[in-house]
Amino acid sequence: MSLPMVRSLPLHFAEIETIHNQCTSHHPVTLVVGPDGGEGVSCMALTLARRAALSTHSTLLLELNTASPTLDSWLNLSRAPWLPSAGLENLPIQATSQPNLDCLCAPHLGEGSWQFRDKTQLHLLLTALREKYQRIIIDASPLNRRNQQNIPPALLASVADQTLLVLLAGKSHEHRVADARRILESHHANIGGCIINDQYNPGLRSEMNRELTRIARWFPRLSRWLEQRINRSQVINFQV
């Protein structure tokens, strides 16, 4: 049995509902990818897969992120070698603790790994998976990180129905994002949207307290009083 899926975002978030309704609910195969890594791609892929499964769609979370595979440890599953040409019945697909949600963890690459760099083989893999699953969410390696151990994410984007690009606010550099977009466009990927992870953006309380420092020199008592009110406010400090 799988462990609780604590690595995904809460499914009641309005943002998750919006992404599901506008993107993943209309496209059977969705690729989730970031420019350089660390943007929260695996977390977002797991969250979107859970949301799709919640709508009683038979859903597969397909991990092709061989740069930093994590789903086996997150979900208490196991990794095994497999190839796109293995056939649907021979793929090591595992059930998760959530109904309607299965997972195919990242393969151990070895002999025959060229198949993951062949567009025809990847297309045949997705065609076979479509016969069993209504929704397929793919967790991919970073677009700008290219080496022999990574399954080319741009190639995956070319065979997926849509691609969602995840960025990390304050961390993803503009030129790296532009590079990622050019890579996707050169492979004729259908870019469905951009998801901005604001994990490191300052909260409302931090910003309001920072602004108070502007008046603290001239109105110290007022500044301290306002700071106390801000820090005690349930509305300002509400966690979502």
Model confidence pLDDT, tens digit, residues 154-213? 999 999 999 999 988 877 778 888 888 898 999 999 998 888 887 666 666 777 877 888
- pTM equals 0.80
| DSSP structural state of residue 114 | G
CA-to-CA dists, residue 106 to 16, 140, 217, angstroms: 24, 10, 57
The pairing of beta strand 101-104 with beta strand 94-95: antiparallel
Do 193 and 206 belong together in one domain?
Answer: no
What tens digit of pLDDT does each residue of 17-55 get?
888 888 777 889 999 999 888 888 999 999 999 999 998
Asked whether the predicted pLDDT for residue 93 surpasses 80, the reply is yes
Domain that holds residue 234: 202-240
Rg for the chain (alpha carbons), in Å? 21
| Average pLDDT score over residue span 212-229 | 85
Do 27 and 111 belong together in one domain?
Answer: yes
| Average pLDDT score over residue span 109-124 | 89
Do 115 and 218 belong together in one domain?
Answer: no
Q: What is the pLDDT of residue 235?
A: 63
Do 139 and 210 belong together in one domain?
Answer: no
